[in-house]
Amino acid sequence: MNPIKPSDISILVLQLSEGCERSFSLLFDFFAPKILNTAKKMGLAQEDAEELQQEVFLVIWKNRAQLKADLSFNAYLLTILKSMMIKKAQAKARKVAYEKYSLKMFQEETR
């Protein structure tokens, strides 16, 4: 497989926006390691980073018709990753707060 050149990315994004699965596969192969490594650098474990990597590309596939070839695909991927990490952190914080609240309420009820 030939490596993708930066000049090829906008062409692949345009083809992806038209539903080309091969372009999606090439973009995935090119950008997936970067998304994975970025997620790990942001503190995620390998398994969580891999899950997030898949979710990022699922968003890309679902929204492929709205992709704009003239915008930075790399920046778009990183924005999706950042947004997902924030949502996951917020969900985790809510869960921890709920568990603490539930424990406190349980302890008060058992007194």
Q: pLDDT per residue over 39-81, tens digit each?
A: 999 999 999 999 999 999 999 999 999 999 999 999 999 999 9
Mean pLDDT, all residues of the chain: 90
Cβ-Cβ contacts under 8 Å for 70 (sequence gap 6 or more): 10
Kindly calculate the radius of gyration of the chain based on its CA atoms and give it in whole angstroms: 19
Q: Per-residue pLDDT for 1 more than 70?
A: no
Q: Per-residue pLDDT for 12 more than 80?
A: yes
| Residue 3: pLDDT band with limits 50, 70, 90 | confident
Give first-to-last CA distance, the chain, whole Å.
68
Burial classification of residue 60, based on how many CB atoms lie within 10 Å of its CB (0-12 exposed, 13-18 middle, 19 or more buried)? buried
Greatest Cα-to-Cα distance within the chain, rounded to the nearest angstrom: 69
Q: Per-residue pLDDT for 89 more than 80?
A: yes
| 58 vs 87 pLDDT, higher one | 58
pLDDT (0 to 100) of residue 6: 80
| Residue 106: pLDDT band with limits 50, 70, 90 | low
pLDDT (0 to 100) of residue 2: 57
Q: What is the mean pLDDT of residues 31-39?
A: 96
Q: If you count them, how many residues does the chain have?
A: 111
What is the spatial distance between Cα 69 and Cα 29, in angstroms, rounded to a whole number?
18
